[in-house]
Structure 1
Amino acid sequence: MATFGLWYFRWDGERNVSLLGNAEEEFGGFFDYAVALPARRKVGDGVVELTQYTGDGFLDGKKFAEDVFSIIDRIQVYIAIPYWKYNTALPRDAPAGTRGYWVEWIRGVISIAPSNLKGFYWSLESAWMLHDNLINANILKQLSNFIHSNGLKFIWIPYARTRERDNTDIHQIYGEHWFNYIFVQPNYYFSPTINSAQGEVPYTYDELEDYVDWILEGQLYIAMEADEGVITGCGNCRKCTLNSPELCKKIAGDYIRAQKDVMGKKFYHRAYYFGTSLTVISEMNRYCKNTLGENYV
């Protein structure tokens, strides 16, 4: 069993700053692996990834790795391959990777060659990325082959807030074996509705159970979702407008409850989004231990 925690870094104009500070010891008490990735910001209908973009993938990847490994030097790390530019919601390369940016990013990270580099994380979260021509299948295959040829692993954490999950690219991509692990984001914590063929419908606990069953049948893994809403009631939880951290804890705890109701246990591997505070994990561990009989992580 392995747990993967998302650890965000933000470019300040000179370096990539850890949004958890120097928290490696505390982080390692919860998680087996760190997924080091740039913080994100919405720009209009798009997203930017807040790490340096010079157009030189090798330089940008090397700089990101240097800053990450100056903070995380013992825990094994998956380094993000950023899809979006720093200051505009455009990809860092063409969908076919014609400028070689993403391959060069990987080369730049590998040039640091720390012993705790475990692999890479593909940061484009869309479960429809092939269908929508956001990325070419051949470049994903190329990136996967290059990563694996260096003895490293490749993971992906797509979102799919929909009942029509079989219409996403997830099963196709799973079948190609480009990624060692795929963790799917249900988005239940964030949204009171889920998309369906009939439009938006209420995102009930029964819907979450159906989602967990779909992940299980597809031989995939789950992305756990919580944030500072479980501490203050003010975050991105669907109940945060009520300013009640207890309601947010219940919504986040439903991920554990649904796994136990469907499978009798938690998924063998799990990825965790928890905002930028490890107190979120401490609070959820306490809540789940008290209400469900086992820790959140």
Structure 2
Amino acid sequence: MAKFALWWVRWDGSDYVSRMTVWDRKATAGDFRERGFEGIVILDGEGRNSHCSGFMYSNGYKDGRELAEWVLSPGVDTSLYVTIPFYRPDGKQRDQAQASFSSVPDSYYRGWIDGVLSIDNSDLRGFYWSYESCLQTGNYGKNVSEEFIQSLHDYVHGHGEELMWIPATGNRGVTYLDDPSFCAIQSLAGYFDYIFVQPNYYQNSTLNEKYGTVPYTYQKLIEKVEWIDNMPGNVSIEMEVDRSILYNYISRTHIEENFREPLIERCGPRFTHECLIQYTCDAKEIAFHYLKAQKDVLNRKYKDLAYYFSVDLRVIDEMKGFSRRLGEAYV
């Protein structure tokens, strides 16, 4: 059983900086271990927030090594999975992904992987394919070929490392996800050691089905979990929550994060203490539904889980306390 936390980083123009905090200090690997996480996924927003020095193998090698030098420091003592950035900071792809990158000598992606591997560190367990879209190789995606994903898997495994993917389903329901021309998760499942599907229930209040738009209710979350449960055993879900559950955070900054109902829509520009308390409680309830749905469908939690919780580990502390009061362990 493995629990993976997402550790967000960004390039500040001269070096990498961690975005993760605990209250007003920077989080450490020890903070993740103390909260029950056995693995950490280093990611940057599909590549938009990591350094990109050019479109060649040598540039990928330099950029990958640069991140590895920063993150693979001695004494981390936690299993690490390092991102493979899909996008450049300008939003364009870092390289073509329509053919096997292994057969292209100057592939940026292959250079990136080699650059990360050039730093010898026993904590590195694998790589995270950062392109989140569940479309991928489907007829509606066409940004990536199955040959590319297969060769990515083979190359990473050839170096004794694992490969992870956390695809987003967004506001699409099972009628879309069942369509292989739309969703590629089914066809690509065999090329990853871990897949954590994003239900995106926490972020969306409505859901698009082929027959129309409907409320994204708990029953619709159940349908997604049942759909995931019919996948191979390496497919699980991502637990999703953010700083919208932290009273002190949103009362001070008035930032709504990505919760399904913006604070200002619920409480207005001059929100009251009572409205804010109810808002954070509702956000925690929606986040708890991810755990409840697993129990209702599986009668247990998935043995492997990834956790998105924005950039503050207090979110995990708050959810652990909330779940404990309901008789469940969140992590």
- Per the normalisation by structure 1, the TM-score is 0.92
Distance in 2 between residues matched to 1:267 and 1:217, nearest whole Å: 13
Contact 2:167/2:198 (<8 A) preserved:
yes
Aligned to 2:237: 222
Contact 2:47 2:85 in 1 (8 A): no
State the AA in 2 paired with 1:82: P
| 1:49 counterpart SS class | coil
Deviations 1:126-185 (A, max 9, x none): 0001121111222211111111011110010001132221121010111xx210111100
Between the aligned partners of 1:34 and 1:211, the Cα distance in structure 2 is 25
Query: Pairwise CA RMSD of aligned residues?
Result: 1.5
Shift of 1:95: 2.1
Q: For the residues of structure 2 that align with 1:60 and 1:48, how far apart are their CA atoms?
A: 11
Shift of 1:22: 4.1
Shift of 1:235: 2.2
Q: Is residue 26 of structure 2 the alignment partner of residue 27 of structure 1?
A: no
Residues in 1 aligned to 2:286 and 2:74: alpha-carbon distance in whole angstroms = 32
Query: Which amino acid counterpart does residue 33 of structure 2 have in structure 1?
Result: G
What displacement does 1:67 show?
1.1
* Whole-Å separation in 1 of the counterparts to 2:47 and 2:193: 26
Counterpart of 1:64?
A: 67
Matches of 1:49 and 1:236, distance apart in 2: 18
Q: Does 1:197 align with 2:210?
A: yes
Give the partner amino acid of 1:53.
C
Partners of 2:188 and 2:241 lie apart in 1 by: 26
5+ long unaligned stretches in structure 2? 21-25, 251-255, 267-275
Q: Evaluate the alpha carbon distance shift between residue 67 and residue 185 of structure 1 in structure 2; reply closer, same or farther with a 3 A threshold.
A: same
- Tell me how many residue pairs correspond in the alignment: 286
The answer (yes or no) to whether the contact 1:284–1:295 under 8 Å persists in 2 is: no
In 2, are the aligned partners of 1:95 and 1:133 still within 8 Å (CA)? no
Question: Which among 136, 152, 157 is matched to residue 145 of structure 2?
Answer: 136
**Conserved 8 A contact 1:126-1:160:** yes
Aligned residue for 1:188, secondary structure, equals: coil
> What's the secondary structure of 1:221's corresponding residue?
strand
Does residue 122 of the first structure (1) align with residue 115 of the second (2)?
A: no
Letter in 2 for 1:2: A
- Whether contact under 8 Å (2:47, 2:84) holds in the other structure is no
What letter is aligned with 2:13? Answer: G
Pair 1:264 & 2:264 matched? no
The residue identity in structure 2 corresponding to 1:237 is F
SS in 2 for 1:209: helix
After TM superposition, give the deviation of residue 198 of structure 1 in Å: 2.2
The alpha-carbon deviation at position 263 of structure 1 amounts to: 1.1
Q: Is the 8 Å Cα contact of residues 18 and 71 (structure 1) preserved in structure 2?
A: no
In 1, are the aligned partners of 2:74 and 2:121 still within 8 Å (CA)? no
Q: Once the two structures are superposed, what CA deviation does each residue of 1:73-122 show, in whole Å capped at 9, x if it has no partner? A: 21110000010002x11100012345401111000000002110000000
Q: What is residue 172 of structure 1 aligned with on the other side?
A: 187
Equivalent residue letter for 1:209: I
In structure 2, relative to structure 1, the CA distance for the partners of 1:48 and 1:155 (3 Å cut) is closer
Q: 2:328 aligns with which of 285, 294, 297?
A: 294
Q: State the match for 1:111 in structure 2.
A: 118
Contact 1:240/1:248 (<8 A) preserved: no
- Amino acid corresponding to residue 10 of structure 1 in structure 2: R
Contact 1:36/1:80 (<8 A) preserved: yes
AA at the equivalent of 2:118: S
**Matched AA of 2:42:** A
Report the TM-score, using the length of structure 2 for normalisation. Answer: 0.83
1:158 and 2:164 equivalent?
A: no
In the TM superposition, 1:268-283 aligns within 5 A as: 268-283=303-318
Q: Match of 2:260, SS? A: coil
8 A contact 1:79–1:121 mirrored in 2: yes
Tell me the equivalent position of 1:239: 261
Q: Indicate conservation of the 8 Å contact 1:183/1:222, yes or no.
A: yes
Q: CA shift at 1:201, angstroms?
A: 1.3
CA separation in 2, counterparts of 1:153 and 1:130? 21
What is the percent sequence identity of the aligned residues? 36
Q: Give 1:72 deviation, angstroms.
A: 6.9
